[in-house]
Amino acid sequence: MIPDRSLEVLRAIVQDYIASKEPVGSKSLVERHSFGVSAATIRNDMALLEEEDLIHAPHTSAGRVPTDKGYRLFVDRLSEVKPLNASERLAIENFMVGSADLDETLGRTVRLLSQLTNQVAMVQYPTLGKASVRHIELIPAADTRVLMVLITDNGRIQQHVIELGTAVDEAFISELRAKLNAALIGAALTDVAGKVKGIAAAMKPDLAKLANLIIQNLLDQVDANRQEKIILAGTSNLAKRKEDFPGSISPVLEAIEEQVVLLKLISEMQAEQHGVSLRIGRENTLEGLTNASVVVSGYENQGSEIAKLGVIGPTRMDYSSNISAVRAVARYLTKTLGN
């Protein structure tokens, strides 16, 4: 395998490159780190690292730059997670106080994360996955419309307007609301479909039709846990780091504008070590993100993961800091949701 000192050299290269944004050469390396060997020896190590495709020289007489593979080895084996400093902790504590509802909490979270990391931050709204029904409300809205509100025990509220096509009968709506709630409160979302089957059948034909319409809508709503939502913040950080993105930042901007694409990406990412999942450069199958890295962590409610959050930045990012920031914010959000 690769000898220890060579790995140390890789670590030094990654750290120096992240700090200086310049390809790093053997001489400056021995100056800044105390390896106890000469530049020539370092050069031998670098030749080895290059053979392993862990570093790469932009041109013949230039210093070296880590490859995606090099970054990967770095985060997997060489980097320690940097603990947050006091001011960062304080920022987290302060940012969260006094946010009442889910929208606001997540809104604050995403801004916090982007401030902490100086990257693009994203927070996914809780999925309905393992949640259960807390309450269903039907509200006559206009002459022929009903507003349905679905509240789940993870705090998510979904609403949808249903067009009935006929005048709303308030008594009927009340009855249906009562029946739905009786059947569904406490039921897992995955069980909703089974539990509503009988409801419409037990009604008079003309009402059954309406009831079916509404129930179908409810099922759509439940089923729409795929059609999830992500909020972003700090997009302007991309432009500030545009020299870190070879080519242009617009493919990145395009990619993150497509919610569907983003959701697919983070749903594929499963927590690795430290509870954090990483995609580095070309590990992203996504076209636009081949020069970007994604750091993601799940956050929980009632003991199970309900959604994810993370940051997106250039492959040349400070992985240690970003990983710890993402992890800390995820934990903090979990804690906040617990109340």
Partner DNA sequence: TTTAGCACTCCAACACTCTGAGTGCCAATA
Partner DNA sequence: TATTGGCACTCAGAGTGTTGGAGTGCTAAA
Residue 66 interacts with DNA (CB under 7 A): yes or no: no
**Could you say which of 59, 97, 170, 202 contacts DNA (CB under 7 A)?**
59
Q: Does 34 participate in binding DNA (rule CB under 7 A)?
A: no
25 near DNA, rule: CB under 7 A: yes
Q: Does 23 bind DNA (CB under 7 A)?
A: yes
99 interface partner picked from DNA, a second copy, none, CB below 5 to 8 A per type: none
User: In the complex, what is the shortest distance from the CB of residue 212 to a second copy, in angstroms, rounded to a whole number?
Assistant: 17
Element counts in the chain: helices (H) and strands (E): 14, 10
Q: Where are the alpha helices (DSSP H) in the chain?
A: 4-20, 26-32, 39-51, 68-73, 86-96, 102-117, 170-184, 192-195, 197-201, 205-223, 236-240, 250-257, 259-268, 319-338
**Which residue pairs from 149-152 have beta carbons closer than 8 angstroms and sit at least 24 positions apart in sequence?**
150/218, 150/221, 150/222, 152/128, 152/189
Single out the segment in contact with a second copy by CB under 8 A; choices: 124-132, 195-203, 243-251, 265-273. Answer: 243-251
Q: How far is CA 200 from CA 148, 149, 166, 175, 190, in A?
A: 17, 19, 17, 11, 19
Cβ–Cβ < 8 Å for 217, 163 = no
Distance in Å, CB of 247 to DNA, minimum: 16
Residue numbers 82-121 binding a second copy by CB under 8 A: 100-102
* Of the residues 22, 53, 93, 254, which one makes contact with a second copy according to CB under 8 A: 254
Question: 9 φ, ψ to 5°?
Answer: -60, -45
The listed partner (a second copy, DNA, none) that binds 102, CB under 5 to 8 Å by sort, is a second copy
Instruction: Write out the residues near a second copy by the rule CB under 8 A.
Output: 100-102, 134-135, 137, 139-142, 147, 149, 151, 157, 159-161, 163, 233-236, 238-240, 242, 248-251, 253-254, 257
